[in-house]
Amino acid sequence: MDSNLFLAYGLLRWPTPVVLIVLLLSSISGTDAQPRCGTYLLTSSQALHKTVNARQSTASFQIGDPLTVPAFSFRQGLRYQTTTTCRWVGEHCYIFVEDEIWKTPRITKKGIESLAVAFDQSTPIHADQGIYQTTTGIFGMPPDVDGDPRIFIVVLDIIDSVISGTFSGYYDTENQQPPISREIVYVDSNPIDLDSNLARATLAHEFQHMLHWAADPDENKWLDEGCSEYAELACGYKDTTATSASGYLQVPNLLRTSDPSLLIGSSTGISSEASWGSNGFFLPILFDQSFLLVTYIAEQYGHPAIGSLVADPENGTASVDNMLGGLEYEERFWDVWGNWISAVFLDQEEGELGFRQLDVGKVRRDTLGVPSDMQTYSLQLWGVDYFVTDGEAGVAGLSADVSSQSDLMAVIINSVEGGYTSSAITIPGGSVRRIGSYGPGHRVLAFTRTSDRSEVYSFTLSPMEGTTPAACDFDASGLVDLSDFIEFVSIFGKAANQPGYDSSMDLNGGGSVDFADFLIFASNFGTFP
């Protein structure tokens, strides 16, 4: 078939919003995308997962044995058959190479051996254990539908798509059911050099998808992809310099690109399709965001926490809550999410507000003067806007009146003597919330949208002392009343950087919501700001 017909046919098979989004992101970046995982474009079904329980007896393979395997064409969006031959038998893997690329310059004995050694024996992080041992120790054991403990690594020339880009590898869950019934991961040979960190990183990434599917077949894509990205880091193949996750850091909110003149309307589908769910289309740029979040969780709570996330039958944020509860932490997902937003901005070397393994580059931020009249922006679901405040008119405090039809979280980062504090404040959709941070310091505001009702949010910025009546009017109703008191009581006793702390109620900026703040609130109760 003519290549143009291939392309046209492929375009017809992908949903229209997907095509629009991919084209749009290509226009934003202005460069060709790097090879990436293709697993997120393939369907995964829990019904298929049930077939794993029926173990079969399969004879092992030897070097030279032929095997016809299914493969996926990203150009056409279809599966097809290709012939391969076994070229390596290791402790934990077979390596089969597509016959049509065998004896081509890109396929070398050194390249095949490097994949085998990495999978079975050694990684940059662990000289005495390979990808198999490292990843199964974190994420759990693989499925075994064929009764053969070895994993099939198929090296082939993946049929890429002009629209969705170049793919370094993938894992297809359909291979777990008859008539295939094998554990297979696919690694590309063109343009990837098999004797490269990218090839080995791809192997770790795709193998994690297999492990994750074995434990939780309908996992949300953000957590599955985030774990696969983290598998690369855990094995030592991930970039840890300031260029790591640069795609996300440059555009943390897809509705506000690095080019302020480029307007992205809701008609592109980007607001609803930029989804973390199990069914929504997972945008390539979210690989970086998910990687940073899972890495943050791993650093703060350890590898047992990651194993618990993968094993939990719930999905996404619910599994984070279950993991934290099971390990007897006070925090829940929203606490982690708020601290992560601060950590991406600050990247401290120690503590909760940074990363130990990564040198995180500068995330996109805007500077706003104080005071500022009504600011209105569009915010992608789970995207983040960062604002650095400039000039608070000599007043030791900052207040913002925030509103949206969608649920929001506002994060206030405040520089204090000896470090920073972070306060994450939930703002229900359809309400107005006055948030604040009082006392000396230089402040950063971040906003993230957590529900899908509206992409628009607004806020004003005002210099404000915490002792004023307006600071105590938390719902901005024009009266300091019982509803404000209920808000205050719910936060009483919380200290900075503890779960649930809200700097809006820390009226004296002392670092905790205590009796001194209660006296300030009581003195303003019943007043009209």
DSSP for 255-309 reads TS-SSTT----GGGSHHHHS--SSSS---TTHHHHHHHHHHHHHHHH-HHHHHHH
Rounded CA-CA distance 280/21 in Å is 13
Per-residue pLDDT of 335-348, as tens digits, reads 999 999 999 999 98
* β-strand pairing of 431-438 with 397-404: antiparallel
- Alpha carbon 429 to chain centroid, angstroms: 24
pLDDT at 259: 52
Token output for 344: 């991406």
Annotated domain spans of the chain: 3-273, 366-524
Strands (DSSP E) along 142-182, which ranges? Answer: 151-156, 167-171
- CATH for 366-524, options being 2.60.120.680, 3.40.50.10800, 2.40.240.10, 1.10.645.10: 2.60.120.680
pLDDT score of 128: 96
d(CA 203, CA 232): 9
Residue 143, sorted as left (phi over 0), alpha (psi -120 to 50) or beta, turns out to be beta
- Cβ density class 109-142: b for 16+ within 10 Å, e for less: eebbbbbbbbbbbbbeebeebbbbbbbbebbbeb
The pLDDT, as a whole number, for residue 415 is 87
> How many Å apart are CA 490 and CA 35, to the nearest integer?
48
Query: Phi/psi class of residue 8: alpha, beta or left (left: φ > 0; alpha: ψ in -120 to 50)?
Result: alpha
The predicted pLDDT at position 16 comes to 45
What does DSSP say about strands 78-89 and 66-73: parallel, antiparallel, or unpaired?
Answer: antiparallel
CB contact set of 451 (below 8 Å; sequence gap of 6+): 381, 406, 407, 429
Residue corresponding to tokens 């499925």: 143
**pTM of the shown model:** 0.90
Do 346 and 353 touch, CB atoms closer than 8 A?
yes
pLDDT in tens, 271-329: 444 445 544 455 666 889 999 999 999 999 999 999 999 999 999 899 999 999 999 99
Pick out the chain residues at pLDDT < 70: 1-33, 44-58, 257-285, 391-395
Go through 247-264 and write b for each residue having 16 or more CB atoms within 10 A of its CB, e for each that does not: bbbbbbbbbbbeeeeeeb
For residue 70, list its beta bridge partners: 81
CB-CB neighbours of 163 under 10 Å: 16
